[in-house]
Amino acid sequence: MRDDNDVPVVLLHGVGLDRNVWQRVERLLRSPSVALDLPGHGTRPPLQEPTSVTEMAADVATRMPSGPVHIVGFSLGSLIAQQIALDHLERVRTLTCVSSVCARTEDESVAVATRLQNARRDLPASMETALQRWFPDDDVADWQAQREETRPVLMANDPSSYAHAYAVFATADRELADRLPEITAPTLAMTGESDPGSTPEMSHRIAARIPDTKVVIVPGARHMLPVTHPEVLVGHLDHLLHQPERNQP
């Protein structure tokens, strides 16, 4: 049987990004980890047609290490992680939802649908808007280096593929909401206090649906926690992972 300390952590990034968003986190983790590119991202072929969270999760699951895993999803990756936790209850030891949306209200759904329309109309401008939302010029901290690091990754996206992936991000939370109570893995829901899209309220919505969920709201933080607050993220993640009495099969 694999020792709990050897159970790998599978890291899933957000829409428009790639597995490299986890580099700072991987350097800090005490557990072995594998960061995977989502379908249509990074080294994966562009998405040629509309897809679903179920299809994206199935693709990722085929590339995960065999046996039990801890799964950590960020933004779109969190929705895919939730689907994997539902589809592979026996394999997922813990689930961590970082900057995750959940059960968007009508107004929240309209807002994300508008961002999808803007991306379809003018992807570069949409990416610049996202960068300003994630790393604002007027933020208390200076995130210019992180913003410039992230820009080429966003700009390298195939427009059609990005739109297909973003459509999943814009709708899958409402598809998943009613099934979240089926998840049995100990769960961490973590987001930034100032994240306008993946709000603190959404992390509490996750906790209201998934039993045994801890909510962590990072003061002053926005969306890109793996980049801007890796130490805080890993601190809470390590606490979840290294509780042998909870992580037994």
Give the pTM.
Answer: 0.94
Helix (H) or strand (E) segment spanning residue 228:
helix 225-228
Cα gap 124→242, rounded to integer Å? 42
Residues in the chain: 249
Domains within the chain, CATH numbers bracketed: 4-247 (3.40.50.1820)
pLDDT in tens, 14-36: 999 999 999 999 999 999 999 99
pLDDT in tens, 76-85: 999 999 999 9
pLDDT in tens, 123-140: 999 999 999 999 987 656
CA atoms within 13 A on the CB side of 169: 30
Neighbours of 63 (CB within 10 A): 12
- List of E strands, the chain: 9-12, 33-36, 69-74, 92-98, 187-192, 213-218
